[in-house]
């Protein structure tokens, strides 16, 4: 029996790549192909069901899926395996965002982007989770890379945590606290919105920080912006995030570099309007269901936040379009794409 | 009903009007823009990076109830402080010396390029080029 094993450089909580590995494993299990998930670095908070990379010992007929999202020297020996290999590229952030904030991560990003062609050459099939990422794969030498979107399973979005407290329009920002997400722009947009249009508005920022000092930097930016009622929560458990999605009035993303952006789909699931910057893969995921702000000045996203909060009919239309986007990214549709990539890699 | 496309147009217009009202004050930038580097960092930035300084706030544990682990790591840092200061100082010495050489080379290249320019003009295009 063929098993499909997945290898990652690292797993961590609140991480889209780690979640994908688990979602694929479940799906592969239904097809009778369940393998294990292996990772080089395993965050103690996510040890369940993930085995150390050194234990990976596939049978000759097995398939090895290499999820590539960072420099991973310990993944490199996998390229020499005789087994069939499928590369899934989740994007590696350009290092320029990190040199000043976390040189170690910047080095990993620089080397990760640099070594991508080696992985492309060594695998049987190369895939990416968005057209944006597939274009980077093509630049790295992949011929006709496949696009296999994020497998969006909604089961984890069902359980709600405690109801968030407070009144006033709730603006939600979801995404790791890292420089390419440009939380500074989100804070500036919110500050303008609160100052000019909605004095009782609140901002909640959710996301695992790059480092404790980077979190302090984001908190300092919030204080200096003059905005009130800003909460930087860090990473939160899924039910807590679900409650925030359910209670929020609008999701705001000012990210500058995105390989996919799962929070867009999560917001659509909760019928939440989205104001975002058309960066990276976001336009192909959000398409016409997002209020796109193409101006870096905080004024435009602030006005869009106001419209998204106040205009009921606009909210309904955005929710309707969001549901249509969810059909395009439905579990079954993506499962078919995954099956196609797996079969092609095994052929 | 306001369609999303109309909403985007309206927001752009209103933001533009508000910006015009506020004048230059509204154009102030800040945030993280300055901290995001170009693909190739400038010599000035390399100068800043050449001095090795590690922020001990970023030495921590992600484990649940990891405060004692964090405290232990900080204790180890303090105990090994003499060693780390030597490592940092030696690496910084090397970086600064190397950077000084790079600056000298850049200055020399610039000087030679300036010198080469007029003589090329005088000579005209070389035959067979």
How is chain B split into domains, by residue range? 1-36, 38-122
**Nearest CB partner across the interface for B15, out of A44, A289, A300:** A300
**Stretch 111-170 of chain A: residues touching chain B, C-beta under 8 Å:** none
How far is Cα of residue B34 from the mean position of the Cα atoms in its chain? 8
Task: Decide if B57 and A185 are in contact by the 8 Å CB cutoff.
Answer: no
Stretch A78-85: mean pLDDT, rounded?
96
Is residue B1 less than 8 Å (CB to CB) from chain A?
A: yes
Is residue A295 less than 8 Å (CB to CB) from chain B?
A: yes
C-alpha triplet A220, A222, A226: angle, nearest 5°? 115
Task: Decide if B11 and A311 are in contact by the 8 Å CB cutoff.
Answer: no
pLDDT of residue B25: 58
Rounded Cα gap, residues A88 and A344, in angstroms = 13
Q: Domains, chain A, ranges and CATH? A: 4-152+330-346 (3.40.50.2000), 156-328 (3.40.50.2000)
User: How many other CB atoms are there within 10 angstroms of residue A275's CB atom?
Assistant: 31
- Tokens at B79, concatenated: 């105990």
Stretch A157-169: mean pLDDT, rounded?
91
Q: Which residue has the tokens 């205009």?
A: A311
pLDDT of residue A164: 87
Residue B36 pLDDT grade (very low, low, confident, very high; cuts 50, 70, 90): confident
pLDDT of residue B127: 45
Strands (DSSP E) contained in A12-105 are 34-42, 50-52, 63-68, 84-89
How far is Cα of residue A86 from the mean position of the Cα atoms in its chain? 20
pLDDT tens digits along A320-330: 999 999 999 99
pLDDT, averaged across chain A: 94
Task: Decide if A291 and B11 are in contact by the 8 Å CB cutoff.
Answer: yes
pLDDT tens digits along B38-58: 777 888 889 988 998 888 888
pLDDT of residue B110: 93
pLDDT of residue B121: 55
Residue A152 pLDDT grade (very low, low, confident, very high; cuts 50, 70, 90): very high
C-alpha triplet B110, B34, A217: angle, nearest 5°? 145
Is 90 exceeded by the pLDDT of residue A254? yes
Q: Are strands A4-11 and A202-206 parallel, antiparallel or unpaired?
A: unpaired
Contacts of B15 in chain A (CB under 8 A): 295, 297, 299-300, 302-303
Q: Which residues contact A86 (CB under 8 A, 6 or more apart)?
A: A63, A64, A65, A66, A123, A124, A125, A126, A127, A341, A342, A345
Is 80 exceeded by the pLDDT of residue A47? no
pLDDT tens digits along A286-342: 999 999 999 879 999 999 999 999 999 999 999 999 999 999 999 999 999 999 999
Q: What percent of chain B has pLDDT over 90?
A: 47
Is residue A15 less than 8 Å (CB to CB) from chain B?
A: no
How far is Cα of residue A105 from the mean position of the Cα atoms in its chain? 17
pLDDT of residue B125: 52
Least confident of A268-282, A320-334, B82-96: B82-96
pTM score: 0.86
Is residue A219 less than 8 Å (CB to CB) from chain B?
A: no
What is the enclosing helix (H) or strand (E) of A70? none
pLDDT of residue A139: 96
Stretch A75-103: mean pLDDT, rounded?
94
Stretch A151-178: mean pLDDT, rounded?
93
Kindly list the distances between the CA atom of residue A270 and the CA atoms of A35, A190, A273, A307, in Å, as whole numbers in the listed order.
32, 21, 9, 18
């Amino acid at each position: 029996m063929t098993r499909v094993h997945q290898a990652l450089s690292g797993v961590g909580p609140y991480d889209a790549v780690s979640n994908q590995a688990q979602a694929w494993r479940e799906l592969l299990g239904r097809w009778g192909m369940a393998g294990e998930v292996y990772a080089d670095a395993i965050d103690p908070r996510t040890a369940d069901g993930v085995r150390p990379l050194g234990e990976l010992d596939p049978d000759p007929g097995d398939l090895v899926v290499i999820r590539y999202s960072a420099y991973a020297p310990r993944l490199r020996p996998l390229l020499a395996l005789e087994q069939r290999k499928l590369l899934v590229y989740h994007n590696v952030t350009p290092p320029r965002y990190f040199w000043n904030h976390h040189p170690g991560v910047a080095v990993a990003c620089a080397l990760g982007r640099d070594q991508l062609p080696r992985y492309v050459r060594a695998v049987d099939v190369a895939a990416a989770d968005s057209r944006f990422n597939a274009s980077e794969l093509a630049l790295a030498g992949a011929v006709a890379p496949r696009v296999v979107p994020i497998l969006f399973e909604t089961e984890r979005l069902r359980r709600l945590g405690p109801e968030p407290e407070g009144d006033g329009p709730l603006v939600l920002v979801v995404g790791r606290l890292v420089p390419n997400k440009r939380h500074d722009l989100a804070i500036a947009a919110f500050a303008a919105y609160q100052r000019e249009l909605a004095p009782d508005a609140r901002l909640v920022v959710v996301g695992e920080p790059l480092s404790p000092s980077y979190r302090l930097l984001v908190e300092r930016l919030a204080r200096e912006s003059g905005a009130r009622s800003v909460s930087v929560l860090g990473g939160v458990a899924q039910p807590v995030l679900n409650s925030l999605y359910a209670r929020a009035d609008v999701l705001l993303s000012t990210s500058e570099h995105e390989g996919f952006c799962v929070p867009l789909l999560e917001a659509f699931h909760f019928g939440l309007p989205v104001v975002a910057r058309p960066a990276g893969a976001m336009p192909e995921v959000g398409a016409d269901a997002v209020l796109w702000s193409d101006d870096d000045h905080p004024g435009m996203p602030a006005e869009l936040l106001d419209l998204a909060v106040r205009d009921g009919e606009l909210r309904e239309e955005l929710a309707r379009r969001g549901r249509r986007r969810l059909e395009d990214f439905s579990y079954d549709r993506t499962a078919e794409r995954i099956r196609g990539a797996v079969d092609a890699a095994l052929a | 009903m306001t369609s999303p496309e109309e909403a985007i147009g309206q927001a752009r217009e209103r933001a533009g009007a508000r910006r015009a009202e506020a004048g230059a004050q509204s154009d102030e930038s800040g945030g993280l823009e300055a901290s995001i580097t170009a693909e190739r960092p400038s010599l000035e930035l390399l100068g800043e990076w050449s001095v090795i300084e590690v922020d001990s706030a970023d030495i921590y544990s992600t484990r649940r109830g990891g405060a004692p682990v964090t405290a232990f790591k900080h204790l180890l840092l303090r105990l090994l402080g003499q060693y780390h200061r030597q490592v940092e100082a030696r690496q910084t010495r090397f970086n600064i010396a190397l950077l000084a050489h790079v600056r000298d080379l850049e200055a020399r290249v610039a000087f030679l390029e300036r010198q080469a320019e007029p003589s090329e003009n005088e000579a005209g295009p070389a035959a067979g080029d």
